[in-house]
Amino acid sequence: MSLAPSAHVDTFTRDNLPPVDQWPALIFSLPELQYPERLNCATALLDDTVAAYGPDRPCLLAPDGERWSYGDLLRRANQVAHYLTRDVGLVPGNRVLLRAPNNPWLVACWFGVLKMGGVVVTTMPLLRASELRTIHEIAHINHSIVDHRFLDDFTAADIGSYTVVGDGSANSLEVRSATHPTDFSNVNTSNDDVALLAFTSGTTGRPKATMHFHRDVLANADTFSRHVLRPRSDDLFTGSPPLGFTFGLGGLVVFPLRVGASTLLLEKGTPDVLLPALEKYRPTVLFTAPTAYRAMLSAGGDFSSLRRCVSAGEPLPKTTWEAWHEATGVKIIDGIGSTEMLHIFISAADDEIRPGATGKPVPGYEACILSDSGEPVKDGEIGRLAVRGPTGCRYLNDERQTVYVQNGWNLTGDTYVRDEDGYYWYQARNDDMIISAGFNIAGPEVEMALLRHPDVLECGVVGAPDPERTMSVVAYVVLRQGVAGTPEKAEELRSFVRTVIAPYKAPRRIEFLSALPRTSTGKVQRFMLREMASR
């Protein structure tokens, strides 16, 4: 039984939605997308699944031996919800930042926030203090839950009250929440109440907060997962993406729980950890990036348990698809999604796959290729990918809304070609985003980190083709007078960047120049830097 929201509701997110005339067109063309007006996605994913399958059904596994049933997750999520409302004093609409690696307690916290009507802001645990401060400036975080192993940068950010999880101390979340009842009346949210804020980097380096409703969380399960992935209730999911990425949230939490399946959560998703986990736990569904598929192929191993493999985050090369299929017999399901759309909207599975192509619009979505002037182009012509469906871009108080959404379409920033059979073929990114090993890295953000070093006078950061990572981050640096550009200096700068922003964003290559190439108006000629990086 659910209760109506309390009289005290924080309306910050609703008040900061973009004007409705700047929203994309939203399409609910499938019967399963006709959601009730009152909807809490935590109820649909957890409470309803327990009611359907029973509390003893396996739900979450961890390599440390921890195993939670659906009933365990429900009880702990309910206790977290009580703790946040009773002890912390949060009210519906409050934003709760989560900072932890993929593990059962992170999932319990995610559900606990949703149950009490809060807005979840799940972050990458590797983010540095400056990045956390920016998130707070945008989202106005009310409280945070932080894994005890990731406290240093968080406390340095000084963004307000927080609760530690995982150390077992008297004030830890797991101890404090255990004193509360194991049942909870979920807040009876509207289907268009904001459930989560997902942050994505912009080409200016300042991240954008994408706003997703309770119905959005279910819509990706009821489109891509239901119609393309087609999971079974006896599946065991696993993968590499953090839950702070919507690719990971969907693939490791939303999709399995929507059908009563279970998930193996890995705190570290690198191939050297992923491969032994595949052999030991024998999952059936795998979510990871092309880089990891290539690395696991090179290392060799037992992939015989897998029946479904999903790739996203960067383009999947045809050679990787073919090599994986030859080695395992499994046809990788490629897909393109975005944080703005929440998950995958173009894909194909099984005999519908054409290696090298991303696929066709997922049922429930529409797509087209537009010219620079916004007109549809003919099949076979290059243009900008535009999509629309049950989810769509809504930035929190950000003028870039009108860049991503134009004439009702979501413009993803990707250049594509559609063939005469309706398949979409990726060509390139049409902005300065660098996609490396599945991570989106904004070049200007890396530039700002480099410029904080006292020896850096100016710099330009671009992506260079990389057969293993799709792209790698290359920095061109002009040093202050009297400082030599040596290999030792390059390593010093690389190490410095890792202390300022997440380590995966650091340049893999640093080149020193006497001056950056510029236009007559003083703008850096990035195309020249990209040409240099590609040599």
Torsion sign (Cα): 310, 314, 317, 318: positive
Residue 112 has which token pair? 């606990």
Q: What is the dihedral of CA 76, 78, 79, 83, to 10 degrees?
A: 140
Q: What are phi and psi of 168, to 5 degrees?
A: 70, 10
Q: Per-residue pLDDT tens for 395-423? A: 999 999 999 999 999 999 998 999 999 99
For residue 410, the cross-strand partners are: 387, 405
CB 41 within 8 A of CB 404: no
User: Considering only CA atoms, which of 392, 436, 425 is closest in space to residue 20?
Assistant: 392
Long-range contacts of 517-526 (CB under 8 A, 24+ apart): 524/460, 526/432, 526/443, 526/460, 526/462
Q: Per-residue pLDDT tens for 240-250? A: 999 999 999 99
User: What are the CA-CA distances from residue 272 to residues 85, 276, 292 (Å)?
Assistant: 40, 7, 9
Note the pLDDT of residue 522. 61
What are the residue ranges spanned by the domains of the chain? 12-418, 433-534
Q: Give dist(CA 302, CA 296) in Å, integer.
A: 10
Q: Helices (DSSP H) in 190-270: which residue ranges?
A: 214-220, 246-249, 255-259
For 331, residues 6+ apart whose C-beta sits below 8 A from its C-beta are 309, 321, 325, 349, 350, 353
Q: Give dist(CA 485, CA 42) in Å, integer.
A: 54
For 280, residues 6+ apart whose C-beta sits below 8 A from its C-beta are none
Q: What is the SS3 assignment for 420?
A: coil
User: Considering only CA atoms, which of 256, 248, 225, 112 is closest in space to residue 174?
Assistant: 112
Query: DSSP assignment of 464-526, as one string?
Result: EEETTTEEEEEEEEEEPTT----HHHHHHHHHHHHHHS-GGGS-SEEEE-SS--B-TTS-B-H
Residue 67 has which token pair? 């195993």
Note the pLDDT of residue 315. 81
Q: What is the SS3 assignment for 25?
A: coil
- Our measurement of the distance from residue 95's CA atom to the centroid of its chain's CA atoms, rounded to an integer in Å, reads 18
Q: Most distant CA pair in the chain: distance in Å?
A: 71
Query: Whole-model pTM above 0.75?
Result: yes
The residue assigned the tokens 């009580």 is 82
Note the pLDDT of residue 432. 63
Say yes or no: domain 12-418 is CATH 3.40.50.12780.
yes
Q: Which CATH number fits domain 433-534: 1.10.357.10, 3.50.50.60, 3.90.550.10, 3.30.300.30?
A: 3.30.300.30
Task: Please identify every stretch of the chain with a pLDDT value under 50, giving residue numbers as ranges.
Answer: 1-6, 202-203, 520-521
Query: DSSP assignment of 264-287, as one string?
Result: E--S--SHHHHHHHHHHH--SEEE
Note the pLDDT of residue 319. 84
Q: Give dist(CA 535, CA 532) in Å, integer.
A: 6
Residue 225: exposure state from Cβ atoms within 10 A (0-12, 13-18, ≥19)? buried
Q: At what angle do helices 290-299 and 271-281 cross, to 10 degrees?
A: 70
Note the pLDDT of residue 431. 64
Query: DSSP assignment of 345-402, as one string?
Result: EEE--GGG--TTS-BEEPTT-EEEEE-TTSPBPPTT--EEEEEEBS----BSS-TTHH
Residue 340 has which token pair? 């703005």
Q: What are phi and psi of 99, to 5 degrees?
A: -135, 100
User: What are the CA-CA distances from residue 41 to residues 191, 236, 251, 258 (Å)?
Assistant: 8, 22, 16, 10
Q: What is the SS3 assignment for 422?
A: coil
For 128, residues 6+ apart whose C-beta sits below 8 A from its C-beta are 153, 499, 500, 501, 502
Q: Give dist(CA 188, CA 44) in Å, integer.
A: 12
